[in-house]
Amino acid sequence: MAPLLNKFSFLLILLTSIINGYSQGEESNTLKENQNFEKDYQEKTDFKKYRKRAEEISAWQIQNLKFGAIVVRFQNNNLKIEACKRIGDIKREKEIRAETQFYIKTMMKAFALNFNFCKVYFMYAQSSDSLLKGVRKGIFIDSSLKVNNEIVMTEKFYLLAEKDYVYNSSIGFVKEDTAKFVRENGPKTIDVAVVLKNKYGHQLKTPFPFFVKRAFLKSSSQYLNVTSIETSPGKFENISYWISKDITLEKQGEYLEELNLRLIHFHDVSKGAFLTDKSIQPFLY
């Protein structure tokens, strides 16, 4: 019986190895099909080449941003609001509206007071596709949080800015002809106040100063009570809700002032940089 069992075990292991080998081969082929980007580097010997490429691309981006624009995109949380409506949770619906409104207005004021490196526009995230397709009016909002058709973006180069996490990126530098098909994944590494991304929504890479970390909040004493919501221009409704003191004009102003100074410094040290690697041209967008 023992020899029979050994023979059966051997056949089972062999069959399992064949199946696993086939599955891994299929997975590898799928990965190659999905990764339509140029890999950064695989070994230490390639790092110098990657770093040089990163420096030249970053220098090109900051020089163009100086005469370009940042488009800040906000979530309007309409899905959450509609969900509250459907279940009749009016209180939570009002809280979400108030929190969303407070954050957006605070950020718009903070940019106006603390950021002057380049022109800034504001829009809701659902307008991202329109912006990418070349729409330059009818998508930007003003201080009333409504789309203002008179706001027209004339700058050709722009970066996106938003509150998000910095990711351990799953992609390298992506050529523009495939950028819209590539989605950035990877584990979250840093919770940031603002992160800059290219027009396809891919976070930038160092040495470009593309994010500012949020402050660490220790306790509930770091919360602020807000007692009203603006339902229409000049009209307010009483409502009590709490927001993090991290989302105040003062704190957001500190973050944006830091971003502004970093961009100014990086622009200054990048002046006079020349593109020596012609192969990076497809990555400049």
pLDDT tens-digit map of 124-151? 999 999 999 999 999 999 999 999 999 9
Domain residue limits, the chain? 57-283
Across-strand partners of 235? 232
Which stretches of the chain are DSSP H helices?
A: 2-34, 44-66, 78-87, 90-114, 128-132, 176-179, 249-270
Q: Which of 155, 70, 147 is closest to 116 using CA atoms?
A: 70
Q: What is the pLDDT of residue 266?
A: 97
CA distance 73 to 196: 11
The CA–CA distances, whole Å, from 276 to 44, 56, 57, 237 equal 22, 8, 11, 59
**Regions of the chain with pLDDT less than 70:** 1-46, 216-222, 231-233
List the structure tokens of 267: 């622009």
pLDDT score for 24: 43
**Helical axes 90-114 vs 249-270, angle rounded to 10°:** 40
The confidence score (pLDDT) of residue 42 equals 52
pTM: 0.79
Q: Treating both helix axes as pointing N-terminal to C-terminal, what angle do 78-87 and 90-114 enclose, rounded to 10 degrees? A: 160
Identify the pLDDT of residue 270.
Answer: 92
